[in-house]
Structures are given as structure tokens and as C-alpha cells.
Structure 1
Amino acid sequence: MTKNKVVKLIAAGIALAGTAALSAAPQLAETRSTLKEWVELKKIVSEEKNDWAVEKQTLQESIELLEDEIEKIETAIESYEAEATDAEKARDDLTAEENELKQASAIIKTEIVDLEAAVLDIVKYLPTSLQDKLSIITQRIPKTKREMDASTLSVRVMNIIGVLTEIEKFNSQLTVVNEISDIKGERVRVDTLYVGLSIAYYVDGTRSEAGYMVPAKDGWKRFEDNSLANDIADAVAMQKREATVRFVDLPLTVTEVE
């Protein structure tokens, strides 16, 4: 092949290649544009997936928090309902108790006058020393309608309870009282040993006057028995812890109170 023919063939090939390149250029540009769009789409999808993962985690945490709050609210509601039930029961109990108290107060209000009269009558049978001790309370017990209207029911009840309490206390123990007694028309100082409210023994300081007493209205009834003087004096000394304890033989007379 001659040199001129080779040159012509090369020139022809270049021309054909140029023509093919010019023909494929639009397709290559379109491919590149599509690829670029695909890359951008993949990037957007990836970003959306990441954003959704973060948002999903946030939503999940929010749901859990809301569930906890709902559980707390439900627990609080149950607690309030239980407290409301307890409060209602307590209110019903208090109402029932109030009604019982009202009924009791109505009964006491009806009977209080007779109770006060009975207490004042009992006081007349008590030893003088105990009457003196109770004088402050007994003076508060109303005797007239005006006094009754001026006093409250609770105060009147407490007066009665106060008197009965002191009476019970005195009746449950031995009590030695140094007092002035009228013996044979003379005022004589004696030691009196009260055995509750059943009987009492008295003896003077010289052990010459002695005897025993039993309850009676407006003053205990006295029975003289000087033969008991030494035994009574010893019993008094033992009660005052001034003598050694020993058995003492003293008469016990049960007399019906008039």
C-alpha cells in the first residue's frame, strides 16, 4: 500500500470517529444527568431514612413517657377513688356516731336533773371530810332552773362524773382523817379510820374515847366502845406508817343506810 493511501485511510477513520462521537454526545450527557439525578435521589432517600430513624426514636421515647404518665394517672385515680371510698365510709361512720351521740345527749338531757338530784342526795351520806373535798364540784351542780339554763350539758355531766369518781376513790381505800367530833356534848379531836364508805373507827389522843361509825344521812351514826381504843389507835398508827403492821381485831357492823 502506498503512503498516500495509508494517509487517506487514517484521515477517513478520524472523520468517521469524529462523526460517531458527535452522534453519541447527546446520549452521554443524558446518561450523566440521569446518573446525577439518581445519586441525588439516593442521597435524599438516605437522609430521609436517617431523619425517620431519629424521629422514630423520638416518637418511641415520647410514647414510653406518655405510657408512664398514663400509668401514673391511672394509679392516682385508683388511689383517689380508694381515698374517696374511705372518706365516704369515714363520713358515714362519723354521721352514725354523731346520731348516736345526739340520741345519748337527748337521753342524758332528759335524765340529767334526776341524776344531779340523786348525786346531791348521795353526798349527804358521805363523811364530812369528803363532803368538804367535793364542795367545789357540788356547788357547780345547778339547783334552780335558771342555773340549769346557764350551764351546758357537758359541764353538768362532768360534775356528776367528778363527784362519783371521788366517791369511788374514797370507797376503795383506807383513809385516816383528823377531825373534830361531838362526843358526850364536847368537841373532841379524834383520828378516824374510814374503811371505804362501809364503816369508820375513831379514837381520841388519850385513847379514852373510842368507837365506830356507820353511814347515815347528814352525819354518820356513832357507836361508843372505849374498849376498842387501843386497837383502833394501833390501826390508825399502822395506816399512818407509825407502827409495825399486825392484825387488829375490830368489829365490822353492816347497817342499812336510812
Structure 2
Amino acid sequence: MPHQPSPTELPMEARITPSGSPGLLRRSAVLAVALFAAVALLPQGAPATDQEPEKMEDTRAALQKWVETRKLISQEQKEWRLEEQLIQNRIRVYEGEISDLRTRIAEMKVSITESQGTEQELTAESTALKASAASLRDRVTALEAQVKELLKRMPDQVKNLVLPLSRSMPENPEETELSLSVRYRNIVNILNLINKFNREIHLKSEVRTLANGQQADVQVLYFGVGQAYYATADLSAAGIGTVGPEGWIWIPANEHAEVIAEAIAIYNNDAPAAFVQLPVQIQ
């Protein structure tokens, strides 16, 4: 019967001593099976002494390949565990980013909802403001028309006083580029100047056309915008100014020249104060 080597005759590289660890026990069992298979492959009936070195060399080479293979597997498993850990870390980071994005999306949805509500409020407010602006535009256009009609009935002194403002009133309100505030301010300023002139007595030097067609330099005494009086220096002519249906008119009043001249002298402090009865013309 062929000689079978005992475990004590195996090379040191083939000796396995289990350590009690499950993984190590399994590896030891695999090595033992491999060694047994290698020994069993020896030809039966051949002298052990002739083939033993060759068999041992084959066994040593097989074990070396097996060990290298196990090392590669172990290294790959180690690298895979490390890669798996990195992937898990990345997954946790991505999950955190996804959670943050979901939170931001929810906040943006709330913000969009609030913005839509605000937009609706602003749209309603804008509509109301446009309607109010249209109403104000209609009112200022009507006021400008009334002021223009009023100025037609004012004396030239008042017309000249407000001329810079009256010129700024648009001829065509629909095409003007002036703002509503400017248009309203012009109207208020014109009315204020007219009102101020109407509250006071004014003496102005003017050139008036007399009843005979001649022109004379005279002093005109204005009592607001209601009445005005003038008389020539030689008292040959006099007149009364008042508001007529189509505007300011001058009416000859030669018979009142002395009284009008006296009133003008009193106003100029050229005569003592006294009660003077002036004629009044109402159209």
C-alpha cells in the first residue's frame, strides 16, 4: 500500500492551527480540504520517495496561489467596505441636501402664495388708483375750463398778472404731458392771485381809448375785480370799468369825472380823506 504522508511530514506552510475564530476555522477547513485533495492526487502504487519532492512542490504552489487569491479577495472586500462607507456618507449628505431643498421649496411655495395675494391686492389698489386718477383728471379738466371762462371776465391787469400760469394750462387736456399735480397747482395759484387782487384797491397807470376815439394816459382806480374808475387830468373824460356778458367793458362816465378824480386824489394822499359817492355799474 502506498505510503501516505502524515500531517507531521507536511511542510510548515501547510500546517494549520485553528484559532477558534469562525472565519479562521472556515479558512483552516478549506486549507485542510485542499491539502487532502493534493495528497489524494498522488499516483497509487508508486514509491513515495520518488515523487514526494514534486508533489510537495505542486502542493506548495497551489497553496501559494490560494493564499494570494484570498489576499486579493480580502483586499477587494476591504476596498469595497471603504467604498460602501463613502457611498453611505454621500447618500446621507445628499439626503440632507434633498431635505433642505424640500424645505426651501415649501418656503418658496408659501412665499409665492403670499406674493400672489400681495399681487392681487396691488392689482386691486392699482385699479382703484387708476379710477381715482381718471376722476381727478376729469375734475381738473373741468376746473381748467371754468378758470379760462373766468379769466375772460377779468380786467387786463388781472389777466397780465396770471398770464404765466394761464399759459401753462393745456389747450388739449387729452394730449397734455403735465401731471395732475401741476395742473391743480396752476389752478390754485391763479385763483389765489385773482382773490388777492379782488380783496384790495389798486391804482394803475393805463392808456385808455376815450369815447371820441382818442387815447389818453390815465390813472385807473380798481376796487377789486368788480369796478374800476378813471378820469383824464383835465376832467374832460371819465369812464367806469365793470364785468360785462362777454368780458370786462368800459363805459363812458364824463359827468362823474370830478368825483372820480377826487377819489383818485384821496387814494394818492393828494387830498384829505372824505366820503365820496362813486357811481356803480352792474351788468
**Cα offsets for 1:32-69 (capped at 9, x unmatched):** xxxxxxxxxxxxxxxxxxxxxxxxxxxxxxxxxxxxxx
CA deviation after TM superposition for structure 1 residue 219, in Å: 4.9
Aligned to 2:266: 238
Aligned to 1:173: 200
Partner Cα separation in structure 1 for residue 205 and residue 171 of structure 2: 31
CA deviation after TM superposition for structure 1 residue 147, in Å: 5.5
Partner Cα separation in structure 2 for residue 101 and residue 216 of structure 1: 42
Q: Which runs of 5 or more structure 1 residues have no equivalent in the other structure?
A: 1-99
Q: Which runs of 5 or more structure 2 residues have no equivalent in the other structure?
A: 1-127
**Cα offsets for 1:159-187 (capped at 9, x unmatched):** 10011111111111211111111112122
Match of 2:256 among 212, 228, 237: 228
Partner Cα separation in structure 1 for residue 234 and residue 158 of structure 2: 26
Provide closer, same or farther for how the CA distance between residues 141 and 127 of structure 1 changes in structure 2, counting only shifts above 3 A: same
Match of 2:189 among 162, 171, 174: 162
Higher relative contact order (CA 8 A, sep 6+): 1
**Deviant stretches of 4+, over 3 Å:** 100-107
Superposition RMSD on alpha carbons, in Å?
Answer: 2.6
Asked if 1:126 corresponds to 2:154, the answer is: yes
* TM-score, scaled to structure 1: 0.55
Structure with greater helix share of residues: 1
* TM-score, scaled to structure 2: 0.50
Aligned to 1:95: none
Aligned to 1:81: none
Partner Cα separation in structure 2 for residue 234 and residue 101 of structure 1: 59
Asked if 1:210 corresponds to 2:210, the answer is: no
The structure having more radius of gyration, on CA atoms, is 2
Provide closer, same or farther for how the CA distance between residues 182 and 107 of structure 1 changes in structure 2, counting only shifts above 3 A: same
Provide closer, same or farther for how the CA distance between residues 101 and 202 of structure 1 changes in structure 2, counting only shifts above 3 A: farther
Aligned to 1:152: 179
Identity of aligned residues (%): 30
CA deviation after TM superposition for structure 1 residue 198, in Å: 1.6
Asked if 1:247 corresponds to 2:282, the answer is: no
Partner Cα separation in structure 1 for residue 133 and residue 275 of structure 2: 50
Structure 1 contact 127–220 (Cα < 8 Å) conserved: yes
Q: Which amino acid aligns with 1:162?
A: N
* Matched pairs, number: 157
CA deviation after TM superposition for structure 1 residue 240, in Å: 2.4
Provide closer, same or farther for how the CA distance between residues 103 and 194 of structure 1 changes in structure 2, counting only shifts above 3 A: farther
